[in-house]
Chain A
Amino acid sequence: MRVPPKVTQAIAVALFGGATVLTLAVLVFVIVFVLGKGLPVVSLDFLLQSPREMGKAGGIFPTLVGTFLLPLVAVAIAFPLGVGTSVYLTEYTVESRMTGVIRFGTDCLAGIPSIIFGLFGYIFFVEILQMGWCILSGGLTLAIMVLPTIIRTSEEAIKAVPTSYREVSFSLGATRWETVLKVVLPTALPGIVTGVMLSIGRSIGETAAVIFTAGASLRLPDSLFDSVRTMAVHFYILAREGISIENAYGTAAILIIAVLLVNAVSYGLMNRFIARRTK
């Protein structure tokens, strides 16, 4: 018997609506659960004290420092490379076999799992270049990991700059580089910053690539050649080794807040960017 279209329509709505609600519920549950269990643990002492007994007691201050420094180093390296790449691809060359190869490389790099980045960073930076487990090794590894994100978002943002701006700049006697510096990049800036913020968010949450390259030292670093532990790594170790579930919750809560904050800012920027473009 043929089911009437009205009935299939109703079933479809119920099914798909149910799936959507379920998805949102699960994702919201994750956040609420972690914040609910974790926030009561968080206090000023928790944030500002060093951990004692491997993190069983005390706070998470050194891991806050690590979580701040590592993405910073990563972005400081990946930003010029990524933006430079996208400027080259959009402003300095026409689509050719070479740009195709560059794009292919970028896409492939984007798909590589973080454990491979970890392996590579370990063998290359830590061992072969003899940098050891340190902020710089970790930052370089993360920089490679987030490079595709920065390239892609910058390219989108630069492509969205009206051609007429470039023509005006050239017609006023600007060179290509002057045009890029004075007109193209400033106009594309919010989009580029969005990519940077997304990269920071990803670096903050990363574990596998970090643990093999930056190590897991709980001491405060003195230089870029010291090992650090990020919140994500700290959380992983606390939870996995069952050191302190309570402090794990607390760390996870701060971790989630940090990531959500960074992502929210980047989406806010993106929306403003889109709104300005369509105005």
Chain B
Amino acid sequence: MRNTGERIVQNALMLVAFSALASLLLIAVFIFKEGLPFLLRTGLRDFLLSSDWRPQEGHFGIYPMIVSSLWVTFGAMLVGAPLGIACAIFLNEFVPKSVMRVTKPTIELLAGIPSVVYGFIGVIVVAPLIRSHLGGPGLSVLCAAVILGIMILPTVISISVDAIGSVPNSYREGALALGATRWQSVHMVVLKAARSGIVAGVILGMGRAIGETMAVIMVAGNSVKIPHSALDSVRTLTANIALEMGYATGQHRQALFATGIVLFVFIMILNSLAMAAMKKSVK
């Protein structure tokens, strides 16, 4: 009887263990089910490469949104990656462990600040600064890049800190014993060893930036057009979905789900890259 009980528990747990995988599949299936027929009907080329987004007239081209998403994400990386990596290096290599023990949790605590709050700061503080000093509407690629760059800092820092922290101390001591300064030991030895982990952190940060929705809606301006400068107002893939989902019907709605598919594929590619980098860093 006891054995039967154990077997039931084991089978139940096995079933439960597939919950995450099953959820993932369910999500994929339903997003694709809603969007894929539309995608096949319109044609991948027309959908991805046309700049004509006029849902009312039946024109669904998301090229501007793709370009905008890439620009905003790229900009966020320019802001967040150097700052985050510099932070991680400084905390690991140049300050006493006690400072690190306080700073790292503080930064991770800040990762919990809701994205809408960052978006709000963008609207209230960053956009007016851009408008008055650089011109343009303020709500722009630049504004989104700055806000997203700040938002991904905790992700980049926390993963990079772990990557750098896992470099064995003997490497550093080896370099220092040969007469290297702290900085020489860092850039010649430590960074090389921690490279894959840092790359993984940056890619995961990119994933977060490209997937962010509400904050981007607030700060990017949301005009459907291909940006010509960092001061132009843009609409990202995520913003496109969230802005129009509320009232979209029929084909229009399917087009939004198709946009979701594009986003899903982007994210999957980024995640696979990050996982590959992580694996490499474990070795």
Contact = CB atoms under 8 A, between A and B. Distances in A.
Interface of A: 5-6, 8-9, 12-13, 15-17, 19-20, 22-24, 26-27, 30-31, 33-34, 80-81, 84-85, 87-89, 92-93, 101-102, 104-109, 111-120, 122-124, 128, 144, 147-148, 151, 175-177, 198, 201-202, 204-208, 211-212, 232, 235-236, 239-240, 248, 252, 255-256, 259-260, 262-264, 267, 271
A270 to B, nearest CB: 9
Contact of B109 (A102, A123, A236, A264): A264
Majority DSSP secondary structure for residues of B touching A: helix
Interface in B1-28: 2, 5-6, 9-10, 12-14, 16-21, 23-27
9 contacts: A9-B183, A27-B107, A112-B264, A115-B242, A202-B112, A205-B116, A235-B117, A239-B119, A259-B114
A144 B138 CA distance: 36
B117 A252 contact: yes
Given A9-B181, A252-B117, A19 B82 contact: yes
B109 A260 contact: yes
B16 A85 contact: yes
B271 A111 contact: yes
B86 interface: yes
A23 B91 CA distance: 12
B211 A85 contact: no
B123 A151 contact: no
A147 B82 contact: no
A119 B257 contact: yes
Given A105-B21, A175-B2, A260 B213 contact: no
User: Which of A88, A116, A263 counts the most chain B CB atoms within 10 A?
Assistant: A116
Given A111-B204, A115-B211, A240-B217, A207 B26 contact: no
Nearest to A120: B27
B13 A81 contact: no
A207 B116 contact: yes
A232 B150 contact: no
B267 interface: yes
Nearest to A264: B109
A88 B103 CA distance: 35
Nearest to A198: B112
Contact of B5 (A31, A177, A260): A177
A22 B183 CA distance: 20
Contacts of A264: 109
A22 B10 CA distance: 51
A22 B83 contact: yes
B113 A113 contact: no
Given A207-B214, A240-B217, 13 more contacts: A16-B89, A23-B83, A23-B157, A34-B121, A84-B12, A85-B20, A101-B21, A114-B211, A144-B23, A207-B115, A212-B245, A262-B112, A267-B108
Nearest to B16: A84
Interface string B64-98: 00000000000000000011101101110010000
- Residue among A17, A236, A248 having the largest count of chain B Cβ atoms under 10 Å: A236
